[in-house]
C-alpha cells in the first residue's frame, strides 16, 4: 500500500507530490494530459494585483514557501526553472503615477512596490510616463518544470498516463483501492477536469479561459517583464510570451480569432515595433468565484481529498496550498476557512 495516489500532474499535483516525497511518503501519479493550463501558463509570480493595486492574499507567506520550493526542485532535477525578473508596470498618465505612489504607502504593499520611478527607455516601447517596479517578482518556466518532473516520476516508476476511471475507485477500511493500486489517500488535483469528478463536481469551480501568444519582435529590446493590460515576457532570441485574455463563457482549450484580435490590439497599445505571431495557445484556468483555492477532505470520506482552484496564481499558490493540505492530513492542522473546500458545503450545497 502506498501513502498517496495523486490524480493530476499540473502545478497543484506536482506540488503535493513533491511535498509528500520530502516527508518520506510513497506516491503514485496518474494524468491523462487533458488539462494544459499549467503547461501554457505565463508562470509569472507577482505579489500585487496591479489592476486594483492590492496585495495578493497571503503574498509574503506564499513567496517564502515558493522560493524555497523551486530552488530545491532546481537542485534536485538539475534544471533552471525559476527566473527572477523585475515586473515593470507601464504608466499611461500622471494619474497612474500618483495612484502607484499612493499604493506604495500602504503597509501591505510597501515591501512590493518600489518608490523609484523607472524612466529607462526600452527600444520598441513608447513610455513618456515611465514605469513602476514591482519587487520580489519573476517567472517559472512551467512547461519545462512539469515535463522534467514527470520524467523524474517516470524514471522512478511513479507515474502512469491514463484517464481516471471514477467507477474503479473503491473506499476501503484503511484507504482506497483503484484498480490494482492500494493507497491510504487519494488527492484529486485535476484542474478544470474536476467537473467530471463525482466526489467534488458540486463545488463551484468556474473555469476561465486564457489565450497567449509567443511573438517574435527583433526590434523589441527587453530584459524585464512589462505588465499593463497584458504581460510581455522576454524568452530570448527575440521571442516574447504575451498574455493573457480572460473569457468566462468559453470552456474549450482551442485558440480563437476573438482572443487573437484582443491580444493583438493590446500588444499594439504597448509596443511600437512590428511583431510576428509565432504560436497561439489557449487553456482553461481552474478558478473559483470567491478567488480562493479549493483545498480539503471530502465531507464523507476521510481518504479522499482535493487540491484545486489555483487560478491565475498557481506558481505562487501551489507549494503553499499543497503544504496546507499535507499538514491537515498528516498532522491534523486545520485548514484556513478561506481555502477549505467545505466552506461551500456548509452553505447548503451538499
Does residue 231 sit in the same domain as residue 281?
Answer: yes
**pLDDT at position 350:** 38
**pLDDT at position 215:** 97
List pLDDT tens digits, range 289-320: 888 999 999 999 999 999 999 988 999 999 99
**pLDDT at position 53:** 85
What global pTM score does this model have? 0.93
Does residue 217 sit in the same domain as residue 121?
Answer: yes
Q: Are strands 239-243 and 231-236 parallel, antiparallel or unpaired?
A: antiparallel
Does residue 317 sit in the same domain as residue 294?
Answer: yes
Which of 285, 306, 329 marks a domain boundary?
Answer: 285
**pLDDT at position 346:** 52
Name which of 344, 350, 228 is nearest 295 in CA terms. Answer: 344
**Residue 59 located in a structural domain:** no
Q: Calculate the alpha carbon distances from 74 to 71, 144, 149 in Å.
A: 5, 11, 10
Does residue 280 sit in the same domain as residue 151?
Answer: no
For the chain of 350 residues, list the mean pLDDT of each consecutive stretch of 10: 97 97 98 77 91 88 96 97 95 94 94 95 94 96 95 98 96 96 98 94 91 96 92 96 92 93 95 96 91 95 97 93 98 96 67
Does residue 119 sit in the same domain as residue 227?
Answer: yes
Does residue 276 sit in the same domain as residue 170?
Answer: no
> Do the beta carbons of residue 310 and residue 130 sit within 8 Å?
no
> Do the beta carbons of residue 72 and residue 118 sit within 8 Å?
no
Does residue 212 sit in the same domain as residue 281?
Answer: yes
120: domain CATH number? 3.30.9.10
**Residue 110 located in a structural domain:** yes
Q: Calculate the alpha carbon distances from 34 to 219, 279, 308 in Å.
A: 37, 19, 15
Q: Which strands form 225-227's sheet, in the order they lie side by side?
A: 131-134, 87-90, 225-227, 231-236, 239-243, 208-216, 276-285
**Residue 240 located in a structural domain:** yes
193: domain CATH number? 3.50.50.60
Chain CA centroid to CA 54, Å: 19
Helix H or strand E segment including 83: strand 82-84
Does residue 101 sit in the same domain as residue 166?
Answer: no
**Residue 49 located in a structural domain:** no
Does residue 325 sit in the same domain as residue 194?
Answer: yes
Which of 255, 285, 315 marks a domain boundary?
Answer: 285
* Count of domains observed in the chain: 2
Which of 239, 256, 285 marks a domain boundary?
Answer: 285
CA angle in degrees (0–180, nearest 5) for 25-28-29: 125
**Residue 316 located in a structural domain:** yes
Name which of 77, 247, 220, 56 is nearest 156 in CA terms. Answer: 77
Does residue 191 sit in the same domain as residue 313?
Answer: yes
**Residue 78 located in a structural domain:** no
Does residue 257 sit in the same domain as residue 305?
Answer: no
Does residue 214 sit in the same domain as residue 273?
Answer: yes
**Residue 108 located in a structural domain:** yes
Q: Quote the domain boundaries for residue 318.
A: 2-43+143-204+290-345
**Residue 299 located in a structural domain:** yes
Amino acid at each position: 500500500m502506498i501513502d498517496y495516489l495523486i490524480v493530476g500532474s499540473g502545478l497543484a499535483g506536482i506540488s503535493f507530490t513533491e511535498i509528500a516525497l520530502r516527508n518520506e511518503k510513497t506516491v503514485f501519479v496518474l494524468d491523462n494530459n487533458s488539462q494544459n493550463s499549467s503547461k501554457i501558463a505565463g508562470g509569472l509570480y507577482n505579489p500585487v494585483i496591479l489592476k486594483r493595486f492590492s496585495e495578493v492574499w497571503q503574498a509574503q507567506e506564499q513567496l517564502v514557501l515558493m522560493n524555497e520550493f523551486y530552488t530545491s526542485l532546481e537542485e534536485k532535477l538539475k534544471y533552471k526553472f525559476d527566473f527572477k525578473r523585475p515586473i515593470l508596470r507601464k504608466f499611461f498618465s500622471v494619474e497612474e503615477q500618483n495612484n502607484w505612489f499612493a499604493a506604495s504607502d500602504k503597509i501591505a504593499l510597501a515591501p512590493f512596490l518600489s518608490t523609484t520611478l523607472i524612466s529607462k527607455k526600452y527600444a520598441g516601447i513608447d513610455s513618456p510616463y515611465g514605469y513602476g517596479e514591482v519587487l520580489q517578482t519573476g517567472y517559472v518556466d512551467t512547461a519545462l518544470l512539469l515535463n522534467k518532473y514527470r520524467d523524474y516520476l517516470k524514471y522512478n516508476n511513479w507515474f502512469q498516463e491514463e484517464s481516471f476511471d471514477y467507477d474503479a475507485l473503491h473506499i476501503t477500511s484503511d484507504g482506497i483501492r483503484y484498480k490494482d493500486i492500494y493507497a491510504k489517500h487519494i488527492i484529486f488535483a485535476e484542474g478544470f477536469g474536476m467537473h467530471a469528478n463525482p466526489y467534488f463536481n458540486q463545488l463551484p469551480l468556474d473555469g476561465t479561459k486564457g489565450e497567449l501568444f509567443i511573438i517574435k519582435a527583433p526590434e523589441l529590446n527587453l530584459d524585464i517583464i512589462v505588465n499593463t493590460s497584458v504581460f510581455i515576457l522576454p524568452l530570448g532570441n527575440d521571442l516574447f510570451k504575451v498574455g493573457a485574455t480572460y473569457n468566462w463563457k468559453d470552456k474549450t482549450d482551442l485558440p480563437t480569432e476573438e482572443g487573437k484580435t484582443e491580444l493583438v490590439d493590446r500588444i499594439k497599445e504597448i509596443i511600437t515595433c512590428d511583431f510576428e505571431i509565432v504560436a497561439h495557445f489557449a487553456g482553461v484556468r481552474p478558478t473559483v468565484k470567491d478567488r480562493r483555492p479549493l483545498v480539503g477532505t471530502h465531507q464523507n470520506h476521510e481518504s479522499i481529498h482535493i487540491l484545486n482552484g489555483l487560478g491565475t496564481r498557481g506558481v505562487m499558490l501551489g507549494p503553499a496550498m499543497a503544504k496546507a493540505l499535507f499538514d491537515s492530513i498528516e498532522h491534523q492542522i486545520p485548514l484556513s476557512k478561506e481555502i477549505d473546500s467545505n466552506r461551500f458545503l456548509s452553505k447548503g450545497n451538499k
